[in-house]
Structure 1
Amino acid sequence: MKAANKQLTEWDAELNQLHERNGDLGLKVQMLEEELKEVRRSREENKTSAPAVADFPEPADLLNQLKAQRKKSRADLADMEVVLDILENH
C-alpha cells in the first residue's frame, strides 16, 4: 500500500509539473498570437499608406548634370524628359 501511495504521489507531482509547463506554453502561444496580430496590423497600415513621392530635377538640369559627369554622352533633352516620365510613373 505504501508503494502504491508513493507512486501516486510521484505521478501527482509529475502531473503538476506538466500542468505548469502546459500553462506556460499556453501563455507563450497567446503572447505570440498577439504579437502576430500587431505585426499584421502594422503591415496592412504600411501597405495602405501613401508611397513617398520623389522630387526629380528639371530635365534640362538633369541633362546638364549628365553632361558634366559623362562629357561624351549622346543623351539629349528629350531623352531626359522620357527618363523622368518613366521614373515618375513607376
Structure 2
Amino acid sequence: MKAANKQLAEWDTELNQLHERNGDLGLKVQMLEQELKEVRRDREEIKNLVPTVAEFPEPADLLNQLKAQRKKSRADLVDMEVVLDILENH
C-alpha cells in the first residue's frame, strides 16, 4: 500500500508540474496571438500608406526634364520610353 501511495504522490506531483507548464504555454499562446493581431493591424496600415503602383511621367515630359537639367544629353524620346518600360516592369 505504501508503494502505491508513493507512486500516486509522484504522479500527482508530475501532474501538477504538467498543469503549471500547460498554464504557462496557454499564457504564451495568448501573448503570441495578441502580438500577431498587432502585427497584422500594423501591416494593413503600412499597406494602405504605400502606393501599390508607381506613377511615372509621360516619356516626353521626362525627356524635357532631362534636357532642362542636362542640356547636352543625347537621350531621345525612344530612350525615355525604354527607361520607363524598364522601371514599370521591374
Whether the TM-score (by the shorter chain) exceeds 0.5 is: yes
Aligned residues: 80
Q: Would the alpha carbon gap of residues 32 and 65 (structure 1) be closer, same or farther in structure 2, given more than 3 Å must change?
A: farther
Report what 1:45 is aligned to. Answer: 45
The answer for unaligned runs of 5 or more in structure 2 is: none
Q: Which aligned pairs between 1:3-82 and structure 2 lie closer than 5 A?
A: 3-51=3-51, 59-63=63-67, 64=70, 67=73, 73=74, 75-76=75-76, 78-79=77-78, 82=81
* Structure 1: stretches of 5+ with no match in the other structure: 68-72
When normalised by structure 2's length, the TM-score is 0.65
Q: CA 1:65/1:13 → structure 2, altered by over 3 Å: closer, same or farther?
A: farther
| 1:38-90 Cα distance to aligned partner (Å, 9 max, x none) | 00000000111253x89x9x7445231783xxxxx4x13x4577579x49xx6
TM-score normalized with structure 1 length: 0.65
